[in-house]
Structures are given as structure tokens and as C-alpha cells.
Homo-oligomer: A and B are copies of this chain.
Amino acid sequence: MAITVVGSVAFDTIETPAGKRERCLGGAATYFSLSASFFTDVRVIAVVGEDFGRRQEAVFQARNIDTRGIEHTAGKSFFWEGSYLDNLNEAKTHNTELNVFATFNPKIPDAYRDSEFLFLANIDPVLQRRVREQMPDVKLTAGDTMNYWIKDHRPALLEVLKGLDILLINDTEARMLAGNNNLVQAAREVMALGPKTLVVKHGEYGATLFRDSTPKSRGAELRAPAMPLEEVVDPTGAGDSFAGGFFGYLASQPEQSPAAFRRAMFYGSVMGSFACERFGTERMQKLTRPEIDERFNLFRELTHLV
């Protein structure tokens, strides 16, 4: 079943200990779409400027991603510049230019309206809510956010959370959103704000799935590992790729059963691990489904007793 995703399609300049790339294709919606496209049909809503041309469009086309919802407008695309020189787990932002994103007003193409799954990537919660309200009949809505919106746009974010089935955030964000340093308590408090499912990503240590149906004695529903990687070339987009694998797999299933949620966590981790292996979307562009399944099996070996 098809996923509609709204979020940024952007250009990134990235520096890591492995090197530097200037203005490569990036943005949360880009990483999410590429990742989810290995599992199901994906439709993107975003805005780009005149610097987004055929070469960028071709990256989406190659994965059969529906780009009719990408609005082309005068000006430059969203631009981000950051580095991970001291710490591969945390980006240092050097520059953010909203450009055409500053006046973005998401429009949903008619062809997208039968999407049963909706992903609200990390953008202004006001825009997230606007999209959510225009698609009242979706079966399952997931979303992401970040420290900036949690800290300075809390009321708008709280409105978005009410409309989410699943929230995917990292450790720091979960603790900040709940104002509680204990992850189990923080998770329960976040779920009380709306989303009945919470995925907390721990970077190189994997991710935890919390569901409000989990017995209290158990603390969490599932702990999924991350791939122990020999080299992390570029962690940009790992979280969005995780979300794409997680939500893409869920959308591909006839039923979103508890077992499907557990496997979705593993697929999320798998896709996040691939994203780190090359700069920008390079690895995602060359990835194949057999490689994904091979790594999924490896994750099983990495975690299961025999």
C-alpha cells in the first residue's frame, strides 16, 4: 500500500572523517523515500528550487518514486551544511538556508489521496499538521521531529502528536519531549501525548520499540540492534532511512500485526546501516533487495540465541 511522505528535498554539504561532499542530494523526504521504495510505492510532497534538475529527479525515478507532489518554484532549494568531525553520532550544523522552504505550503496531488500510509518527516509542525488534516482517511500516520521543534514550537508539535499513530525520534529528543531522563518513563509520557507506538533510535546502539499495549513489567516491546560497522562514512540520513525501512515494511504487509512491527524495526535498522556506508544517498541509490534481505538475516544472527 502506498505511502505519502512530506518533508525536505534538499542539497547538503557534508564533511566527515572520511571526506567531504559539496551540495549532494539530501533532505529527510529524499532519504525516507529512497529507503521505503524498496518495500512499497512512495509519493513525495516537497518543494524545490531551480537548482533541482533532471539529475536529481532521476534519482527518484530510478526507484519509481512518485514526484508529482514535488513543487518546483523560483529560487534555491533548502540547503544544509554540517560536519561530523569530532563525533560521528552528532552533526554539527554550519549553515542552514531554508530558501524555497521558507514559504512552503504543501499541496496534495489528487493522485496521492488514496494513500493509506502517511509519513510526516521532520519539518515545521504547522506544516505537518496541515498535511495530516488534508488526509483524514489514512490508515496509519507516522512522523519525526527534532530538538528545535520540541524546544521552541511545543504547542504546535503537541497538536501534531495527537494525530500520529507512530512517532520516531532519538534518545535525546524523547527525553527532552517528556522532560524525563528515564527512557521507559519518558516513552510512556510521550505515548500519552498521542502516538500509541514510539520508536526511539539510539544511533550505533540500535533502537527500541515502545507500544502502549506492552505489559508494564517488560519495559519495552523490542530492542533492535544496529549493524556494527567497520566504517561509518556519513551518518546523514540514517534516521530517515531507518524510518523509510520501518514504515515501508509496515505498509507492505497485509496486516500491521505485532510481529510485523517487530520485523519493521529490524528493516529500519538495516536501512539505517546501509545509509551510513557511503556519502549522502550514494548507497541507497545502488542498493538491491537481496542485499537488504541478506542484512536482515545477519541482524537475526546478531541477536538471536540458538
Q: Measuring CB to CB, which residues of chain A are less than 8 angstroms from any residue of chain B?
A: 88, 181-185, 202, 204-206, 208, 216-223, 225-232, 259, 262-263, 266, 298, 300-306
Contact = CB atoms under 8 A, between A and B. Distances in A.
Given A205-B202, A218-B298, A223-B206, A230 B182 contact: yes
B301 A303 contact: no
Query: Among A219, A226, A298, which residue has the most Cβ atoms of chain B within 10 A?
Result: A219
Residue of A181, A220, A222, A225 ringed by the most chain B CB atoms within 10 A: A225
Nearest to A302: B223
Q: Which 7 residue pairs across A and B have the least CB separation, nearest first?
A: A219-B228, A205-B205, A223-B225, A220-B228, A184-B228, A303-B303, A184-B230
B301 A218 contact: yes
B305 A231 contact: no
Given A181-B88, A303-B303, A223 B219 contact: no
16 contacts: A88-B181, A182-B230, A182-B232, A205-B206, A216-B230, A218-B228, A218-B302, A219-B227, A219-B302, A220-B228, A222-B302, A223-B225, A259-B306, A300-B305, A303-B303, A304-B305
A281 to B, nearest CB: 23
Contacts of A228: 183-184, 208, 218-220, 223
A20 B117 CA distance: 50
A9 B304 CA distance: 36
A209 to B, nearest CB: 10
A303 B232 contact: no
A231 B302 contact: no
A222 B88 contact: no
A266 B305 contact: yes
A259 B206 contact: no
Nearest to A203: B205
Nearest to A273: B219
Nearest to A219: B228
A102 to B, nearest CB: 37
Contacts of A220: 228, 302
A300 B218 CA distance: 11
Contacts of A217: 298
Nearest to A225: B223
